[in-house]
């Protein structure tokens, strides 16, 4: 939503604008880390068990005036909430530690929100449909 307002020209070969790419799932696969704000993409990305950082520089405004949250985002987000560029850079460096995901309880998040994403979801749906049709 904000890509057209960003000028990345001075960061050529470092930042790439992929906002027009047609399938974000392809981008998940080739990424080592997700940096997002409040986008629901983190629910899908969590299945990859890779680090996530939430750049929440405007969290008070978002919580109070924009949309709010459907769950206790500030305590249950599967990664750190950072509000400044400096803290974002420090946190990106932290993702290289082996225990980054454990620090932020990503397993607990996945257990609650991603449990049905186990590679068998389509089979369960088709089995239920077939059972329903046979009864």
- The model's pTM is 0.78
pLDDT digits (tens, 9 = 90+) for 92-134: 999 988 788 878 878 888 898 888 888 888 999 999 899 888 8
Q: β-strands 34-36, 52-55: how paired? A: parallel
Helix boundaries (H) for 23-115: 24-30, 41-45, 59-61, 73-76, 85-94, 100-103, 106-113
SS3 36: strand
Tokens, residue 41: 């993409």
Q: Give the integer Cα–Cα distance in Å for 108 and 82.
A: 20
Cα gap 116→125, rounded to integer Å: 11
Write the pLDDT tens digit of every residue in 25-82. 999 999 999 998 877 888 899 999 999 999 988 777 766 676 766 767 777 888 999 9
Position of tokens 């992929």?
18
CA distance 68 to 112: 20
Q: Could you give the CA distance from residue 33 to residue 55 in angstroms, rounded to a whole number?
A: 13
- Helix (H) or strand (E) holding 132, with range, is helix 121-134
Q: Could you say which DSSP state residue 10 is in?
A: G
52 close to 79: Cβ distance less than 8 angstroms? yes
What's the pLDDT score for residue 63?
67
């Amino acid at each position: 939503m904000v890509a057209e307002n960003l000028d990345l020209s001075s960061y050529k070969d470092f930042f790439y604008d992929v906002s027009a790419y047609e399938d974000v799932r392809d981008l998940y696969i080739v990424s080592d880390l997700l940096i997002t704000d409040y986008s629901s993409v983190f629910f899908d990305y969590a299945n990859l068990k890779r680090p996530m950082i939430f750049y929440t520089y405007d969290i008070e405004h978002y919580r109070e005036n924009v949309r709010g949250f459907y769950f206790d985002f500030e305590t249950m987000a599967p990664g750190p909430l950072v509000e400044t560029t400096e803290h974002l850079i420090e946190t990106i460096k932290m993702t290289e530690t082996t225990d980054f995901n454990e620090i932020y309880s990503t397993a607990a998040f996945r257990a609650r929100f991603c449990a049905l994403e186990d590679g068998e979801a389509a089979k369960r749906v088709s089995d239920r449909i077939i059972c329903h049709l046979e009864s």
